[in-house]
Amino acid sequence: MIWIFLTACLISSPLLGLAIRIDAYWKLDIAAVAAGRNVSAASLWGDRALASTPDNVSTDTNPFNSSEKVLRFSYPAGSWSPGSTNPGGASFYANVLGETPADTAWMNYTVFFPTGFDFVRGGKLPGVYGSATPALSGQCAGGDHTENCFTVRVMWRTDGAGEIYVYLPISNQNTLCDRTKYKSNYCNDVYGWSLSRGSFSFHSGNWTDVAIGLQMNSVGNADGGLGLWINGIQVFGYSNIIYRSTADIGVNSAFMSSFFGGSTQDYATPVATYTLYKNVALKYQSAPMSISSAARVPHTVFPMVVLFIFICNIFIL
């Protein structure tokens, strides 16, 4: 029965009549890193080596399962963003999709904050990068804005309050930054935008499942989809986002980004600490999610689609 259901996940959703095609997916082989493979090795990232070996990334043991290896991002005492004078964590693009960006993507991982973790003022967690071509260092992050790419990451704030943190085309500003409509959205002219701040919380000493679902907008329309699920529960969703102005732009990289910050020292961790990750995967499809490759999925259907994919994830991961 499980295999029958899994086949349905990989081929289509009978209820929606959609070609989900989540057989196109990448999953990080953490066990291979633990066995000695260099974390920048091409075989780990869709046969595309990282530009350099990231600092502060290693493996550790699951605190609840001594036989399972997990990914570890370390933050030295006094550190904040990787570009600071005292760098901690890491931030790099992993072009796991190659040369063909995805119209629809589903990024998920499970994150662990150790007991007593001091969240300070905030920090970043992984997400996705999108453009027409593979990422160059620093695009759509760290204050670097351009209309030709986007990034979507998760962020923690003081006391573990959570949000989505985005760099998006400026054409979204009049809608997403309208505080009369979105009271929990915070935008500035220099760095990224905080969406739905405080809509959920991270808690130390426990694993937290994170899932980000994206669907590109149709060119010329503000109809892109973005949803976030925490421990299987949707905490918010948007269906009015502009990711792109040309059809060749889409998701093409996992954005493996985690550090304290913020760009200033008041975000720095006072003590050496870390986060752990498992089940790191990116599922995707390059074509729109319909049987006819020319058709668009109605964005009212998007939450149903990603819910279906989430159920499939239970069996795939």
In this prediction, residue 257 carries a pLDDT of 96
| Burial (CB count <10 Å: 0-12, 13-18, 19+), residue 99 | exposed
pTM: 0.86
- Model confidence over 126-150: pLDDT tens digits? 999 999 987 655 688 887 778 899 9
- Model confidence over 1-11: pLDDT tens digits? 333 333 333 33
Amino acid at 262: G
In this prediction, residue 272 carries a pLDDT of 99
Q: Where are the beta strands (DSSP E) in 159-206?
A: 161-167, 193-201
**CA distances for 147 relative to 140, 157, 217, 223, 272, angstroms:** 9, 27, 14, 17, 37
The CA distance from 132 to 145, in Å, is 15
In this prediction, residue 13 carries a pLDDT of 30
In this prediction, residue 287 carries a pLDDT of 58
148-162, 248-262, 301-315: range with lowest mean pLDDT: 301-315
Residue 244 banded pLDDT, cuts 50, 70, 90? very high
DSSP, collapsed to helix, strand or coil, labels residue 288 as coil
Place of tokens 């905080």: 194
Instruction: Enumerate domains of the chain plus CATH numbers.
Output: 2-316 (2.60.120.200)
106-115, 133-142, 170-179: range with lowest mean pLDDT: 133-142
In this prediction, residue 269 carries a pLDDT of 99
